[in-house]
A and B are shown apart, each in its own frame.
Chain A
C-alpha cells in the first residue's frame, strides 16, 4: 500500500506545496480553556512534512486537546491551527479531507464486523464505490485482521480494536495522520505489534503526529519530539538533541554503608554539575562527560580510602529529560505502571537543584 497516493476524488488540491516553509501541521499560540482549566496555554508546534512528530507529556498535559483542535473537533480560544496550510477554523471541511484520526479510545462500531466498519468509512469518505470493498480487504490484510474480518467487533481484543481503529483512519489515504496515544492500555505484546504497524506506515510521505505518555514510544517512533506540560511546549527537538541539551550522564555509586556514601558525596561534589543525590548507601552524580568522571571518581575515592560496592554509568533516558524539565517524572516512564507508585516514589527524591525553569 502506498499511503502517499492520494485519491483525486476525495482529496481536493490544497494551497499547500512541499518546499514551502510552513510545516504540514502548525499550531501558533493556541489556547483553549475548559472552565478554569487551561488545557492549552499558548501551544506552538510545527511538524515538517513527511515526518513523525511525537507529542510527549503526562496525563492532562493537553495532548488530546491539541489533537482535537487540529482535527476540527473543537475550536481554540486563541491562536492559529493549520493542516497543509488549511486553517482548521476557516476551512474545516477541507482539513477533514486531508486528515486521518485515531483517537485515544478506539472508535469503532461494536455491532458491525471489522469489514463492515471499514466499508462504512469508505462510503462515508466517498471512495469510488468499486474501490470500497478492495480497500477494506487490503487494510484488513495489512493489519492482520483478515481472519476476524467478518466477526462483530464486540468479539475483538483491545489490540485488534486499536488496529481496526487505525485502519479506519487510513481508509481515505489521508496525507496527514493523527494518532492519540495509540498504545495506551495495550499489553506489551500488542504495543510492540502496533509499533511495527506504525513504523510500516511512515516513510511513504505521510505526516504523522503521535501523542504518547511513553518515552520509549516517542524515542522509537518519532523523528522529532515536543515535550508538553501544562498546555505548552517545554522542550522540542530530536530525541538525541533533547538528551544532549538537558540531561547529563548519571554516575551511580553505591557503598557498603550510609556514612561512607555521605563522605563520598562531599568528596565528589566538584565533579558534578549539581549537588549529588544521596539516598542511603547510594550516590548519584550528574556529569557531563561520563568516562572522565568515572576515572576521576575512582581515583579520588581510592585516595581517600573510601571503598566502593558498585559503580555504573547511566545514559540519560527521555524520562530523565522530563525530570530535568519539569522536576517531575512522567507517569508512564517505565511503560507499565502509568500513574504508578514508582512515579510517586521518584517524585520525593527530586533534588531541588536539578529543577529547571
Chain B
C-alpha cells in the first residue's frame, strides 16, 4: 500500500523565520555557556594579553618596525588578528564537546532548523570575538597603542578582522565535527594555526624573514589581514590588502561552509 502524503511543509517564509529564531536560540545558549564558564573566555584573552606584554616589553626592543612606526602600533593589529585566529579553535572545541555529550544527537532528532546548530555556534563565537577584540583594544591603549586614522577606519579594520575570524570558525567547525573529543580538536588546531600566525606579518615585518619564507609569509591569509587592518588603523594604502583579505575570507567561507554543512549532515 502506498501512503499518500497529506503532510504539509511549512511555507518558505515560515521556515526561514524559524531558522533564524533557532539560530538565535542556540547563539544565546552558547553565549550563556561563556557567561557560566568564564574561564573559556578568560583563556582566550589571557594568551593575547601575555603576547602584548611579551612583545611590547621583551621582544619589541629587538624588532625593527617599519620606518616611522612605533613597535606597539605595529604590534596591536597583529595581536587582534592573532586573538580571533586562535579563538576559532574554540568553535571546534565547543562542537566536539556538544557531540561528546550527545547534544548534537538530540538537536538532530528535533524538528528544528538543522542549519541553526552551526549558525548558532559560529555566531556566538563571533560575538565572543567582538568582546575579545574590544578588550585587546583597551589593553593596547594602556600600553601605548594609538590608532591614527580615526574611528571609522578603525571600526572598518575591526569588522574586517572579525569577518576573517568568522571564516576561520567554519574551518574549525569541520575540525570539531570530525574530532573524537575536545582534546583532539585542540591538537589538530595548533600545528595548522601556528605557522599561519607566526610566519606572518603579525609580530615582525616580513622583510626580516629569509627569502624563501617571505613568499609564503607575505601572501598567506593571516598576513594580508594583518596588513589590511594595519593600513586601516595606522594609515597607508588600504585597497590592495583589504581586497586580498576579503578574498581569503570569502574563499574560506565558500569552501568550508558547504564542507562543514555536509559533515554535519553525516555526523555522529
Contact with A along B26-63 (1 / 0, CB 8 A): 10010011001100000000000000000000000000
Residues of B within 8 A of A97 (CB): 111
A13 near B25: Cβ-Cβ < 8 Å: no
Q: A59: CB under 8 A from chain B?
A: no
B111 near A111: Cβ-Cβ < 8 Å: no
| Nearest chain A CB to B237 CB, angstrom units | 46
Known interface pairs A15-B6, A86-B7; A111-B110 also in contact (CB < 8 Å) = no
Interface window among B97-105, B170-178, B226-234: B97-105
B29 near A112: Cβ-Cβ < 8 Å: yes
Question: Which residue on chain B has the smallest CB distance to residue A121?
Answer: B110
Known interface pairs A73-B268, A93-B111, A112-B32; A107-B8 also in contact (CB < 8 Å) = no
Q: A249: CB under 8 A from chain B?
A: no
| Nearest chain B CB to A131 CB, angstrom units | 14
Residues of A within 8 A of B33 (CB): 109, 111-112
B8 near A13: Cβ-Cβ < 8 Å: yes
Question: Which residue on chain A has the smallest CB distance to residue B97?
Answer: A110
Q: B3: CB under 8 A from chain A?
A: yes
| Nearest chain A CB to B208 CB, angstrom units | 45
Q: A139: CB under 8 A from chain B?
A: no
- A window 49-102: CB within 8 A of B: 71-74, 85-86, 91, 93-94, 96-97, 99, 101
Residues of B within 8 A of A74 (CB): 268
Residues of A within 8 A of B130 (CB): none
Q: Which among B1, B36, B102 is the interface contact of A111 at CB below 8 angstroms? A: B36
| Nearest chain A CB to B1 CB, angstrom units | 8
Q: How far, in whole Å, are A22 and B110 apart by their CA atoms in the complex?
A: 24
A71 near B109: Cβ-Cβ < 8 Å: yes
Q: How far, in whole Å, are A168 and B110 apart by their CA atoms in the complex?
A: 10
Residues of A within 8 A of B112 (CB): 96, 124-126
Q: B143: CB under 8 A from chain A?
A: no
Q: How far, in whole Å, are A74 and B107 apart by their CA atoms in the complex?
A: 14
B109 near A152: Cβ-Cβ < 8 Å: no
Most buried by A among B4, B103, B111, B112: B111
Q: A172: CB under 8 A from chain B?
A: yes
Residues of A within 8 A of B105 (CB): 73, 103, 107
| Nearest chain B CB to A162 CB, angstrom units | 13
- A window 112-146: CB within 8 A of B: 112, 116, 120-121, 123-126
Q: A344: CB under 8 A from chain B?
A: no
Residues of B within 8 A of A71 (CB): 109
| Nearest chain A CB to B115 CB, angstrom units | 12
Known interface pairs A15-B5, A93-B9; A116-B32 also in contact (CB < 8 Å) = yes
A107 near B106: Cβ-Cβ < 8 Å: yes
For the side of the interface on B, what is the size category?
20 to 34
Q: B108: CB under 8 A from chain A?
A: yes
Q: How far, in whole Å, are A71 and B109 apart by their CA atoms in the complex?
A: 6
B101 near A107: Cβ-Cβ < 8 Å: yes
Q: How far, in whole Å, are A14 and B6 apart by their CA atoms in the complex?
A: 6
Most buried by B among A101, A106, A124, A125: A124
Q: A260: CB under 8 A from chain B?
A: no
| Nearest chain A CB to B37 CB, angstrom units | 6
A12 near B110: Cβ-Cβ < 8 Å: no
Question: Which residue on chain A has the smallest CB distance to residue B4?
Answer: A15
Q: B21: CB under 8 A from chain A?
A: yes
Q: How far, in whole Å, are A108 and B29 apart by their CA atoms in the complex?
A: 12
A15 near B7: Cβ-Cβ < 8 Å: yes
Q: Which among A12, A73, A124, A126 is the interface contact of B8 at CB below 8 angstroms? A: A12
Residues of B within 8 A of A106 (CB): 102
Residues of B within 8 A of A238 (CB): none
Q: How far, in whole Å, are A126 and B107 apart by their CA atoms in the complex?
A: 13
Known interface pairs A13-B8, A110-B101, A152-B36; A124-B109 also in contact (CB < 8 Å) = no
A107 near B111: Cβ-Cβ < 8 Å: no
Q: A46: CB under 8 A from chain B?
A: no
Most buried by B among A13, A91, A101, A109: A109
Q: B18: CB under 8 A from chain A?
A: yes
Residues of A within 8 A of B32 (CB): 111-112, 116
| Nearest chain B CB to A147 CB, angstrom units | 20
Q: How far, in whole Å, are A93 and B5 apart by their CA atoms in the complex?
A: 14
A96 near B29: Cβ-Cβ < 8 Å: no
Q: How far, in whole Å, are A124 and B112 apart by their CA atoms in the complex?
A: 6
Q: How far, in whole Å, are A124 and B22 apart by their CA atoms in the complex?
A: 6
17 more A-B residue pairs beyond the given contacts A16-B3, A101-B109, with a C-beta to C-beta distance below 8 A: A15-B6, A73-B268, A74-B268, A86-B7, A94-B7, A96-B112, A103-B102, A103-B105, A107-B102, A107-B103, A109-B33, A111-B37, A112-B29, A116-B32, A120-B25, A125-B110, A152-B36
Interface residues of A (CB under 8 A from B): 10, 12-16, 22, 71-74, 85-86, 91, 93-94, 96-97, 99, 101, 103, 105-112, 116, 120-121, 123-126, 152, 168, 172
Interface residues of B (CB under 8 A from A): 1, 3-10, 18, 21-22, 25-26, 29, 32-33, 36-37, 101-103, 105-112, 116, 268
6 residue pairs of the A-B complex, CB under 8 angstroms, read: A86-B7, A93-B9, A101-B106, A101-B109, A112-B32, A121-B110
Of all A-B residue pairs in the complex, the 7 with the closest CB atoms, nearest first, are: A107-B102, A97-B111, A107-B106, A124-B112, A96-B111, A101-B109, A123-B25
